[in-house]
Amino acid sequence: MKTPLLNPLLTGIATRYMASLPLAGRRIAPVLNTQIHAAAYYVFDTSNFTDIPTDIRRAPSTGFKRVKSRLSDDTFLAKDYGIEEPIDKMELAMYASIFAADRSAMERAIRIVAINHEIRVRNLARGVTQTASPGVKWNAAANTTIVQDLQAAKDVIRAQIGVVPNLLTLPYDVYTALTHAPELKGYYTNTDGILTKQMLENVLQVEIVVSGDLINTAAEGQAADLGGIWDDEAFLSYSQETADLKALNFARTFNWTAAGGSGPSGVSTFTYDQDEIDSRVVRARQYTDEKVVAAGAGYYFSNVLN
């Protein structure tokens, strides 16, 4: 077996492909690149965000006031996640080029890695203590309080972290229900069709990300039972892409950027030949740990539909 080699070109394409998948994990827990495999990280302290010095005028020949952060911490340990797909040399000959075969295998492998990341982030969301279940389900024909439900959750988060949440994660079925919701249609005149994503965002005053991939949820050996990664639920959070270690985020994906890790793009691909099985092999790898940074920046809704 030849040594697996990092494939920079394929990794670049893999990064763009991962970003195009109908998943929410990398939005809820943005990637934070780190050169360290394991370390302590800053847990967000609201006082650092809300305790603003209001007398910062400097007197002549004196020093400037300085920010003094209150720090608490937890630890992360990047873990090795990955999958390989071998392409038999006979199958390889059916492609227009070796690169075309590599790319096809890469897409299948990257999707598996990305869905595993989605599941881990979804589990973080389900673990928050700020939760609710709508009294009137969001797909009811009348008397829904969708805007009120979300506003109440926004107020809870704002009271915890000092800012309004900016991201609403919806499973595809819940998103579809909201596009047909009479309450939300009522904010527009002469709207007989379904609402667009932009129209929903305008009403709900939050960016929406839809997680729509299906996986087989049946036990191994049983008949296939396709279901969403996210189910009858919704998740409101404050999430932002930033390289600032101390920045406010519900969660972060700590990404180990070593040569044998994920690389700075959050995923890496390797290719090599394995003569024992007469195949070319494509490997997708992610070396990460997903951790909650600011628990108060998340709010979970369960059982939102009938």
For residue 58, being part of any structural domain is answered with: no
38: enclosing H helix or E strand: strand 38-43
Per-10-residue mean pLDDT, the chain, length 306: 88 94 96 93 81 86 82 88 96 94 96 96 98 98 97 97 96 97 92 90 98 86 90 97 91 90 88 95 96 96 97
For residue 65, being part of any structural domain is answered with: no
Cβ–Cβ under 8 Å, residues 277 and 1? no
What's the pTM?
0.91
For residue 66, being part of any structural domain is answered with: no
Q: Report in angstroms the alpha-carbon separations of 133 from 58, 250, 306.
A: 51, 20, 11
Per-residue pLDDT at 239 = 97
Per-residue pLDDT at 246 = 85
Which CATH number fits the domain that encloses residue 82? 3.90.1690.10
The whole-angstrom separation of Cα 239 and Cα 27 is 7
SS3 (DSSP) at 22 = coil
DSSP state of 211: E
Per-residue pLDDT at 198 = 97
Q: What single-letter amino acid sits at 22?
A: P
Total domains in the chain come to 1
Residue at token pair 């279940």? 133
Cα dihedral angle (244, 248, 252, 257), rounded to 10 degrees? 0
Pairing of β 298-302 and β 38-43: unpaired
The whole domain housing 146 covers: 5-49+71-302
SS3 (DSSP) at 29 = coil
For residue 265, being part of any structural domain is answered with: yes
Strands (E), 165-267: 167-171, 207-211, 214-216, 226-228, 233-237, 251-256
For residue 298, being part of any structural domain is answered with: yes
Q: Give the list of residues 6+ apart from residue 17 with CB closer than 8 angstroms, or none.
A: 106, 107, 110
Per-residue pLDDT at 50 = 76
For residue 63, being part of any structural domain is answered with: no
The whole-angstrom separation of Cα 204 and Cα 193 is 18
Q: What are phi and psi of 218, to 5 degrees?
A: -75, 155
The whole-angstrom separation of Cα 64 and Cα 58 is 6
Per-residue pLDDT at 192 = 74
For residue 150, being part of any structural domain is answered with: yes
Nearest to 167 by CA among 204, 119, 118, 116: 204
Per-residue pLDDT at 71 = 64
Q: Is the dihedral of CA 192, 195, 200, 201 positive or negative?
A: negative
Q: Which two structure tokens, joined as six digits, stand for 100? A: 């075309």
The whole-angstrom separation of Cα 240 and Cα 56 is 28
Per-residue pLDDT at 53 = 84
Per-residue pLDDT at 225 = 87
The whole-angstrom separation of Cα 21 and Cα 107 is 10
For residue 296, being part of any structural domain is answered with: yes
Helix, strand counts (H, E) of the chain: 9, 15
